[in-house]
Amino acid sequence: MQFKDKVVIVTGASSGIGREVALAFSRKGARVVVNGRDRDRIDAVVTEIRANGNVAVGVPANVSKKNDAAGLVESALDAFGQIDVLVNNAGGSRGSRSVADLLEDDWDQVVADNLKSVFLCSQAALPALKRQKSGKIVNVASQAGRAQSVLAGPHYAAAKAGVIGFTKQLAKELAEFGINVNAVAPGIVRSGPRVEAMWDSFSPEFQARFISDIPLGRLGENHEVASAVLFLASDGASYLVGATLDVNGGRWMI
């Protein structure tokens, strides 16, 4: 898979899965637009990409806000004149609570970060993608949206299920323009300190039971999700439309 001179936007790319996705695209020759909310962490990823002789720009934006999402797309077009791939990776959670204990503000924030952001960034990119009559959108969902959340709670599960549904709807609308829309649904991945801390909060007995349900016998790694994202953004996935690729070691099969 080569992406030489392709322009790729990766939201939530300052750490974890998003960072690895941005680095993976850059290693394949893409010009990468690195998005996040923390300027210092964005700059660190951009510096790493450039140190390897590749091209990247950083654009801080809260993509759950309409103006920020539009500004991100505008910045990409100003820098490179085109958009070939949009990876909607931004998201996160506010901890795991039962439905009975979940706060309305937490629900609203998690749904905005994980689902509304996908809608806003996709909508902002549509004019450019339609003009080109080509492009790829890859949305990062979750195994939680397939079944239920182990670590992140009902608000996260609902938002990620929404991402899967939105992926199908958007894919249906954009196929006629030569634009492929698909998603990946990772299981629990060692994506960074936040997930590691949540995982470590469980007892060794719970962890052992959970791992025993994964046929591969381990948690996932960032690079394994990134590989799936790059595949869906490649010419090799040209006949995939509205699909969700499960990257979970076999724990959830459908």
pLDDT for residue 116 is more than 70: yes
For residues 191 and 184, which has the higher predicted lDDT (pLDDT)? 184
Q: Please report the pLDDT score of residue 16 as a whole number.
A: 93
The Cβ-side half-sphere exposure at 203, using a 13 Å CA radius, reads 3
Q: Please report the pLDDT score of residue 155 as a whole number.
A: 93
pLDDT for residue 94 is more than 80: no
- Is 83 in contact with 73 (CB distance < 8 Å)? yes
Residue type for position 161 = A
Give the three-state DSSP class for 82: coil
pLDDT for residue 208 is more than 70: yes
Residues pairing with 220 in the sheet: 189
> Domain 7-191+221-246, what fold?
Rossmann fold (3.40.50)
Residue with tokens 């939201």: 11
* Both tokens assigned to 239: 């006949």
| Residue 64: Cβ within 10 Å count | 25
Angle at 118 between CA 88 and CA 14, to 5 degrees: 40
Q: Is the dihedral of CA 148, 151, 155, 160 positive or negative?
A: negative
Give the whole-angstrom CA distance, residue 93 versus residue 76.
Answer: 27
Q: What is the mean pLDDT of residues 147-153?
A: 78
Q: Please report the pLDDT score of residue 191 as a whole number.
A: 66
Q: What is the mean pLDDT of residues 217-238?
A: 95
Q: Please report the pLDDT score of residue 201 as a whole number.
A: 74
Contacts of 127 (CB under 8 A, 6+ apart): none
Residue positions annotated with a catalytic role: 156
The Cβ-side half-sphere exposure at 235, using a 13 Å CA radius, reads 5
Angle at 63 between CA 144 and CA 229, to 5 degrees: 50
Give the whole-angstrom CA distance, residue 198 versus residue 74.
Answer: 36
Q: Please report the pLDDT score of residue 1 as a whole number.
A: 66
pLDDT in tens, 56-87: 999 999 999 999 999 999 999 999 999 999 99
Range in 170-179, 184-193, 216-225, 243-252 the model is least confident about: 184-193
Distances in whole angstroms, Cα of residue 240 to Cα of each of 58, 60, 89, 142: 30, 31, 19, 19
E strands present in 80-205? 85-88, 135-140, 179-186
pLDDT for residue 215 is more than 80: yes
pLDDT in tens, 154-171: 899 999 999 999 999 999
> pLDDT class for 192, splitting at 50, 70, 90?
low
Helix (H) or strand (E) holding 246: strand 244-247
- Is 22 in contact with 226 (CB distance < 8 Å)? no
Q: What is the mean pLDDT of residues 14-18?
A: 94
**Mean pLDDT score of the chain:** 93
- Is 6 in contact with 31 (CB distance < 8 Å)? yes
